[in-house]
Amino acid sequence: MAKDDKKDNTLKLKFDSARNLAPAPESKSIAKIKPQYELFINGSFVKPESGKYFDTINPATEEKLSQVAEASPADVDKAIKSAKSAYQKVWSKMPGKERAKYIFRISRMIQEKAREFAVVESLDGGKPIRESRDFDVPTAANHFFYYAGWADKLNYAFPTKTPRPVGVASQIIPWNFPLLMAAWKIAPALATGNTVVLKSAETTPLTALMLAELIQEADLPPGVVNIITGAGETGAAMVSHPDTDKIAFTGSTDVGKIIQKAVASTHKKVTLELGGKAANIIFDDAPLDQAVEGVINGIFFNQGHVCCAGSRLYVQESVYDIVLRKLKDRLETLIVGDPLDKNTDIGAINSRGQLETIQKYLKIGVQEGGEIYQSSCPLPKKGFFCSPTLFTNVSQSSRIAQEEIFGPVLSILTFRTEDEVIEKANNTPYGLSAGVWTDKGSKIFNMTTKLRAGVVWANTFNKFDPTSPFGGFKESGFGREGGLHGLMPYLHLD
Amino acid sequence: MKPNIKIPDFSHTAVVDQVGIEERASRFTKRSIKNETKMNGLLLALNMIDLTTLEGKDTVGKVKQLCTKAMHLHKAYPGLPTVAAVCVYPSMVGVAKKALGDSGVKVASVSTAFPSGQAPTQVKIDDTKYAVENGADEIDMVISRGKFLQGEYNFVFDEIALIKEICGDARLKVILETGELGTYDRVRKASDIAMYAGADFIKTSTGKISPAATMPVTLVMLEAIRDFYYKTGKKIAMKPAGGISKAKLALHYLVMLNEVLGEDWMNNEWFRFGASSLANDLLMQIMKQKTGIYQSSNYFSID
Amino acid sequence: MAKINNTNDEQRLEVLKTYKIYVGGQFPRTESGRYYVVKSKNGDHLANVCQCSRKDFRDAVLAARNAFGGWSARAAFNRGQILYRIAEMLEGRKSQFVDEMTKQGLSLKQANEEVNLSIERLIYYAGWCDKYHAMASTVNPVASSHFNFSSPEPTGVVSVLAPDDSPLLGLVSMMAPIISGGNTCVILASSKYPLSAVTFGEVLGTSDLSGGVVNILTGFVDELLPYFADHMDVNAITLSDQSESQVTLAKEKSVFNLKRVFQYKNINWITEKGQSPYFILDLQEIKTTWHPIENIGGAKASY
């Protein structure tokens, strides 16, 4: 429950009516989810060698949606061999402009089936339909469209160099943006002439499997894209397979390090897009209402399951009170609930395990002396939900200010001067993203050049675009996805 | 105005980022308003209308007809609310006052050499006095945009304060004419000046300049009202005017109001729509909700 | 006055040089007090060279980290001038290097080539300092109303294992792209030919290069490699012709803080392949910056 600031009692704005809207659910009937999914290998859906399947559930209801195959090392071997054969026989020989047409086709077909993808994404992963409909799915389609155009223009990308594909790319994606991450991985790999084995995350396999069906429908040559499902063991088999030439991983820094170590004795090319603990910095001359909105989107977008989430808020002391008040009022208007309701702002936490992790950090935050403030929005009785949460009285040494929580939890810290906040913002092993809010242009450039992060948003936050490279400094990984720079990880430059 | 309100330095007002405010405004339009929420919203919007006629060709007959419409929106649906007010030129205030009688519908009068405001202060005073003396419950004044753009903020402030005095018990709406101010930063500054000078309402537009009310510009003003409330504890009302003719858009505005200022503002004391054709679209949507059948304008009176 | 005796080369007792290391702009000896003997091809004793310890490396990383802020913030043009200055200093001391290299067993032709090409290479990279940005940066036409650009920024502190078979050119070829990109580095010189590396430190020391930007240690790869690879405040490591097992070890140890690892294997540094702006880009991180673009009103650019 929200704790009222005593001094503000008389002036409190009331938002109950703003949250209590009549239900506006998106129709589930458009989602044709099969009771069971197989592995997509060499152009067809095949049963796993092990005969094993695992359930995928709707995190908002805890009900089973479907069961999917668990790929064993033998299945991984099959998938990688088919990718290798397709690479050698078909894909590496195909002219770029022909590859491009296949990739354009995939993009268009995603657009055609956009609403179905969005509904399945929200059912399987818990994200609000507003986000899967307006962000995940269109951005995924756009990513394919963008890279399709590169396929026959690679010679223009790197002056004096002759680009050459790497071979078979083993790609492992997380559960926070299942379809979009698949697009981020597959699109540049295909455009540059590589073939792919992609493994979706254990808790969110369905849209990747729908993509597999779409790729089959698009008539892509068998084996060029293989999509398999499974957990960590499946991923490990992909990483260690001798015919894997390139590994692209998005996920936790811990797993990224395991992968990096596993391939130390090989010449496999690796790109890692890992964790973050982004600083979002508000100066006293900022457009405060837009800054508050940016902070809200920065931390509560996709329930905070975002590696570049603005999870550390630094507010200049002279505007701390007003910013906090605006944040609290904005927090009250957020609707937490059924991901399929078009009015939901914050959907379900992706899995029970992740909910437990977040709850652990909430306890730690309180134990460390942080002052917790949560929205008074009631949570659904069933499913995995977490109230949007602010922590004040947080210091640089608090664990909730240092460790990636990957949930709707914002740690608020204060600062006095530019130097101080630059030092504090960079005081982390991560370096994925950062945000800065000020009306003064010269200060923006001072900040954006000194913040050690791969993406810096000034007077905006959490913006993504296929043309815009994304990726981290330091322990947030290496390699870029998006834009011209996103081609590099999939090419040898001779 | 409470004596304890400290007047800020208007050369330094809060700044607004255009892309950010427009993104936020468009987010409200993503709310899906259904069933009872929709019905309540439509009825509330109807009740918030300042039914307006501000034309050179206005006559006693036209104003009388408009007043009848204001009180009896759609006889096929008994029990509907009335609109909030009828908005006319000062010369028509007496006519409207008489026509509306004790219906509870208020008479609002534009004044201060509406719409341009390009007249000597004395003319503006007389204009306002005339409207008030003829029974106007509310005065919709325009600010001197020329002076504002010249940076003469004190002039603008003093003029509003002066008109406020003349209003007496009538509530003062201050029209910023946002379409002439050019940027959201200036809309924000003009809002602050108006509120600190004593406005009861701040209002976007005269309806004579394009663009008139938009969601982002209204959002800028709502946020100014919120900041003023945070600072002073005093509530200021809001009136977007011009360009809102569809029920769906009106509902978006109500969503925005509800999420920025909360439910205390969700009534016609604190929010109005300045509009002429919005009422019939709302009525058509209300009848659609009630009957489940899509409606035709032929069945709704145009006054 | 009597002439001082023994000024002829034949009669004069040569003053031997103490080969020290180059750390933080200073020329200390190793803290460990250890040394190893470098002999000429005839087996004559040439020098006692510092056998650096992990603590020497630790101190060098500290110096490199302290120097990073200033060096990376320098104008690219200024970095170019400093690299050019290093080339100038090297040109002036060419004969000393040739002398040292021939003593260590290189032919006169080889020695001349090493030094001449090292000078050329420094000039090559001096020119790149303010140009590789243009090659590696993009302005990205995002679909929203934002200005978006990506540009390279130095990775940070780099540890370098210079090639064993090249006394000077290999070291210069690995160092120059690192520092022209704004990074700072700690270099382990060839253990086989350490003398030129140490003397090159003296060139750096007189070249307007701030202390700590380049630090040169002498010693053994097997002893120092683990620390070069696992130090948490080193952001990247570049290897040359180390063995497979050494490279694997370096990669494994680099995992602790996800160091960027690059190996420049089998590169014939005397050829064109030994220089490229892509070597600079290896030690760069791409940063993408976003900012909203205001677009108010109907005004458009026109001709």
Q: Which residue of C has its CA nearest to A444?
A: C291
Closest-CA residue to B2 (of B232, B283, B211, B241): B232
C10 versus A138: the higher-pLDDT residue is A138
Among residues A121, A273, A475, A481, the one annotated as catalytic is A273
Model confidence at A479: pLDDT above 50: yes
Task: Collect all residues of chain A within an 8 Å Cβ-Cβ radius of residue B30.
Answer: 130, 134, 342
Would you call B50 a catalytic residue per the annotation?
A: no
Among residues B127, B140, B192, B281, the one annotated as catalytic is B140
In a domain, B123, yes or no: yes
Structure tokens at A264: 């130390």
Q: Whole-model pTM? A: 0.95
Cβ-count burial of A37 within 10 angstroms (0-12 exposed, 13-18 middle, 19+ buried)?
A: buried
The pLDDT value given to residue C66: 98
SS3 state at B66: helix
The pLDDT value given to residue B102: 95
Say if CB A416 and CB A405 are below 8 A apart: no
B264: contact with A, CB 8 A cutoff: yes
Provide the chain C residues 129-168 that lie in CB contact (below 8 A) with chain B: 144-146
Chain A closest-CA separation from residue B115 CA (Å)? 31
The pLDDT value given to residue C41: 84
Chain B closest-CA separation from residue C148 CA (Å)? 14
* Mean pLDDT, rounded, for C42-70: 96
Q: Name the one residue in this structure whose structure tokens are 């999870």.
A: A311
Task: Collect all residues of chain B within an 8 Å Cβ-Cβ radius of residue A375.
Answer: none
In a domain, B245, yes or no: yes
The pLDDT value given to residue B40: 96
B18: contact with C, CB 8 A cutoff: yes
pLDDT band, residue A1 (cuts 50/70/90): very low
In a domain, B5, yes or no: no
SS3 state at B168: coil
* Mean pLDDT, rounded, for C122-150: 97
Say if CB A282 and CB A460 are below 8 A apart: no
Q: Which residue of B has its CA nearest to C294?
A: B18
The pLDDT value given to residue A5: 45
User: How far is Cα B137 from Cα B170, in angstroms, rounded to an integer?
Assistant: 5
Provide the chain A residues 340-359 that lie in CB contact (below 8 A) with chain B: 342-343
Model confidence at C297: pLDDT above 70: no
- Beta strand C214-217 with C35-39: parallel, antiparallel or unpaired? unpaired
Beta-carbon count within 10 A of B236 CB: 23
A17: contact with B, CB 8 A cutoff: yes
The residue type of A257 is K
Closest-CA residue to B110 (of B180, B49, B54): B54
Q: Name the one residue in this structure whose structure tokens are 């810096």.
A: A456
pLDDT band, residue A193 (cuts 50/70/90): very high
Among residues B69, B164, B239, B281, the one annotated as catalytic is B239
Task: Collect all residues of chain B within an 8 Å Cβ-Cβ radius of residue C297.
Answer: 182
User: How far is Cα C192 from Cα C39, in angstroms, rounded to an integer?
Assistant: 10
The pLDDT value given to residue B75: 87
Task: Collect all residues of chain A within an 8 Å Cβ-Cβ radius of residue C144.
Answer: 463, 465
A15: contact with B, CB 8 A cutoff: yes
DSSP letter for each residue of C155-217: --EEEEE--SS-SSHHHHHHHHHHHHTT-EEEEEPPSSSHHHHHHHHHHHHTTTPPTTSEEEE
pLDDT tens sequence across A304-339: 999 999 999 999 999 999 999 999 999 999 999 999
In whole numbers, what is the pLDDT of chain C averaged over residues?
A: 94
A448: contact with C, CB 8 A cutoff: yes
User: How far is Cα A128 from Cα A123, in angstroms, rounded to an integer?
Assistant: 9
- For chain C, what is the total number of helices (H) and then of strands (E)? 10, 10
The pLDDT value given to residue C7: 63
pLDDT tens sequence across A35-60: 999 999 999 999 999 999 999 999 99
In a domain, B7, yes or no: no
The pLDDT value given to residue A8: 45
Q: Which helix (H) or strand (E) holds A202?
A: none
Which of A485, A487, A488 has the highest number of chain C CBs within 10 A, making it the mutation to test binding with C? A485
Task: Chain B: list its partners (3+ Cβ pairs within 8 Å).
Answer: A, C
In a domain, B11, yes or no: no
Helix, strand, coil shares, percent, chain C, to 5? 45, 20, 40
In a domain, B266, yes or no: yes
Task: Chain C: list its partners (3+ Cβ pairs within 8 Å).
Answer: A, B
Chain C closest-CA separation from residue A424 CA (Å)? 16
SS3 state at A151: coil
The pLDDT value given to residue A431: 97
B234: contact with A, CB 8 A cutoff: no
**Per-residue b or e along A105-119, where b marks 16 or more CB atoms closer than 10 Å to that residue's CB:** bbbebbbebbbbbbb
DSSP letter for each residue of B70-123: HH-S-TTSTTPPP-SEEEE-GGGHHHHHHHHTTSS-EEEEE-SSTTT--S-HHH
Provide the chain A residues 258-277 that lie in CB contact (below 8 A) with chain C: 260-261, 263-265, 272, 274
- The structural domains of chain C, with segments of one domain joined by +, span 35-267
Helix, strand, coil shares, percent, chain B, to 5? 50, 10, 40
Task: Collect all residues of chain B within an 8 Å Cβ-Cβ radius of residue A18.
Answer: 255, 258-259, 262-263
CB contact under 8 A, B182 and C297: yes
Task: Collect all residues of chain A within an 8 Å Cβ-Cβ radius of residue B223.
Answer: 289
CB contact under 8 A, A290 and B20: yes
The pLDDT value given to residue C299: 55
Share above pLDDT 90 across residues of chain C, in percent, rounded to a whole number: 90
Q: Which helix (H) or strand (E) holds C267?
A: none
CATH match for C35-267 among 3.40.50.2300, 3.40.50.2000, 3.40.605.10, 1.10.3720.10: 3.40.605.10
Among residues A307, A308, A377, A386, the one annotated as catalytic is A307
Domain holding B86, by residue range, is 18-299
**ipTM entry:** 0.95
A:B CB pairs within 8 Å = 85
B21: contact with A, CB 8 A cutoff: yes
User: How far is Cα B37 from Cα A335, in angstroms, rounded to an integer?
Assistant: 15
Which CATH number belongs to the domain containing residue B182 in this structure? 3.20.20.70
Strand partners, B110: B140
Residue A22: which of B37, B229, B255 has the nearest Cβ?
B37
Model confidence at C298: pLDDT above 60: no
Count of residues making up chain B: 303
pLDDT tens sequence across A342-380: 999 999 999 999 999 999 999 999 999 999 999 999 999
* Mean pLDDT, rounded, for C253-275: 96
In whole numbers, what is the pLDDT of chain A averaged over residues?
A: 96
A164 versus C41: the higher-pLDDT residue is A164
The pLDDT value given to residue B1: 47
Domains and CATH numbers, chain A: 28-274+473-493 (3.40.605.10), 276-458 (3.40.309.10)
Model confidence at A433: pLDDT above 90: yes
Task: Collect all residues of chain C within an 8 Å Cβ-Cβ radius of residue A471.
Answer: 286
Say if CB A175 and CB A202 are below 8 A apart: yes
pLDDT band, residue A7 (cuts 50/70/90): very low
* Mean pLDDT, rounded, for A203-231: 98
Task: Collect all residues of chain C within an 8 Å Cβ-Cβ radius of residue A449.
Answer: 153
In a domain, B10, yes or no: no
B235: contact with A, CB 8 A cutoff: no
pLDDT tens sequence across C33-44: 999 999 998 889
The pLDDT value given to residue A284: 97
The pLDDT value given to residue C295: 82
A95: contact with B, CB 8 A cutoff: no
Instruction: Please report, in angstroms and rounded to a whole number, the separation of the first and last CA atoms in chain A.
Output: 61
User: How far is Cα C261 from Cα C238, in angstroms, rounded to an integer?
Assistant: 6
Chain A closest-CA separation from residue C246 CA (Å)? 10
Positions of chain B with pLDDT lower than 50, given as ranges? 1
SS3 state at C81: helix
Q: Which residue of C has its CA nearest to B217?
A: C296
**Per-residue b or e along A368-403, where b marks 16 or more CB atoms closer than 10 Å to that residue's CB:** bebebbbbebebeeebbbbbbbbbbebeeebebbee
DSSP at C19: B
CB contact under 8 A, C297 and B184: no
CB contact under 8 A, A454 and C288: yes
Would you call A307 a catalytic residue per the annotation?
A: yes
CB contact under 8 A, B19 and C145: yes
In a domain, B4, yes or no: no
Say if CB A283 and CB A316 are below 8 A apart: yes
Closest-CA residue to A159 (of C276, C282, C288): C276
DSSP at A3: P
Model confidence at A226: pLDDT above 90: yes
Chain A closest-CA separation from residue B265 CA (Å)? 9
Q: Which residue of C has its CA nearest to B180?
A: C297
CB contact under 8 A, C287 and A468: no
B26: contact with C, CB 8 A cutoff: no
User: How far is Cα C145 from Cα A257, in angstroms, rounded to an integer?
Assistant: 37
Preceding peptide of B115 cis, ω within 30°: yes
A294: contact with B, CB 8 A cutoff: yes
Number of domains within chain B:
1
Provide the chain B residues 167-186 that lie in CB contact (below 8 A) with chain C: 182-184
